[in-house]
Amino acid sequence: MVTAQRNALPFVARLKSRLLDLSPIEASFLRRGFPGINSPSRSHLERVITTFIEGYNLAVVEGDMIRLSDRLDSSFPASFLGFAYEGAGLYFALTDLLLPRSTSRLKTFTGSIAPHHDFIAVVGAGFAIARVPFGLRRLENFQKSLDPLNAWCVADGYGFHQAFFHWKRFIENSEAPPDSLAQQNRSLFDAGVGRAMWWVFGADVHAIAAAISRADSERRAEMWAGIGTAVAYAGGMLPHSDRLLLDLTREYRLDFLSGIPFAAHMRHKGRTPAECTDEACDGFLDLSVAQASEMIMTELNAFLESWQGSEAGKWNRCYLALRERVRRRLN
């Protein structure tokens, strides 16, 4: 937050801003040293991360959740609004982890104040895991404090954070997900790494395919699913690269395609339409955004209704089962 704006804030908000604000420079491809620095998609993709930071910084200074939601809704165009809520999710996760209460602030925000943006806000919470003491050790306990229907998004956000801010380790050198994570969270970590590649390589599909091919074979499917979500939710596809992208997915084509309905569901539920989501659903799936979103809900409900194991087992398996069901449906 610029100095003049910060000085106009009440004292407590001003203090929080000084201590916790993130600088928009963190979104810069130049600062990150990304190989995709010369991509035509750079400005768009940087704007996505800048919007995330602006949403986070608004949450830092706005003490009332309802007013925060109103300010977010009025400050950003629909196609970028989800990223601002994602940044707010980071803030509430930080406060949950640093100053625990009996009820999670993030759960309150996503359950009562901004339920349309629950999934994307919890993805933002994954950033907090990387930024608090012993965050990784606390990840799975933190998930238990959230709604189990979206708690899995934390691991996806954590994977994105690590690959975005430490891309040489997690993308160039293909560092594996932490061994301490359960199987589903390891898969989600890889989906987040895949999404981060969309930024690191500036939507260059050749570079992305090459990077995924360097990872262990059992990780590639989830990385391609992450690319599908990035294409459909963030956008920035380079002209005339859609057919090439499909060709490069090869045996992981259905994994890539299965990531698109997840993006469509977040857009449809969040009421944040975007041209990139319309184009991805139509061009890759021959579906509308609403139809792709409905696919997620249909398969999710079918899984939940058919589950016969323990409650914990259901949620520890939910994402993996849902993505596999969507994959089979697309086949």
Reply yes or no on whether the pLDDT at 204 is more than 70: yes
Question: For residues 119 and 101, what is the distance between their CA atoms, to the nearest angstrom?
Answer: 22
Over residues 227-250, the pLDDT tens digits come to 999 999 999 999 999 999 999 999
Per-residue model confidence (pLDDT) at position 211: 98
pLDDT at res. 19 = 61
pLDDT of residue 9: 54
Q: Which two tokens stand for residue 213?
A: 């091919």
Higher-confidence position of 207 and 19: 207
pLDDT of res. 180: 96
Mean pLDDT for all residues in the chain: 95
Model confidence over 146-198: pLDDT tens digits?
999 999 999 999 999 999 999 999 999 999 999 999 999 999 999 999 999 99
Q: What is the pLDDT of residues 22-69, one digit of tens each?
A: 999 999 999 999 999 999 999 999 999 999 999 999 999 998 999 999
| pLDDT value at residue 18 | 60
Whether residue 17 is predicted with pLDDT greater than 70 in this model: the reply is no
Return the pLDDT at 20.
Answer: 75
Own/partner pairs, 89-92, CB within 8 angstroms, 24+ separation? 89/120, 89/121, 89/122, 89/123, 89/124, 89/125, 89/157, 90/52, 90/56, 90/59, 90/124, 90/125, 90/127, 90/128, 91/20, 91/56, 91/59, 91/60, 92/59, 92/121, 92/125
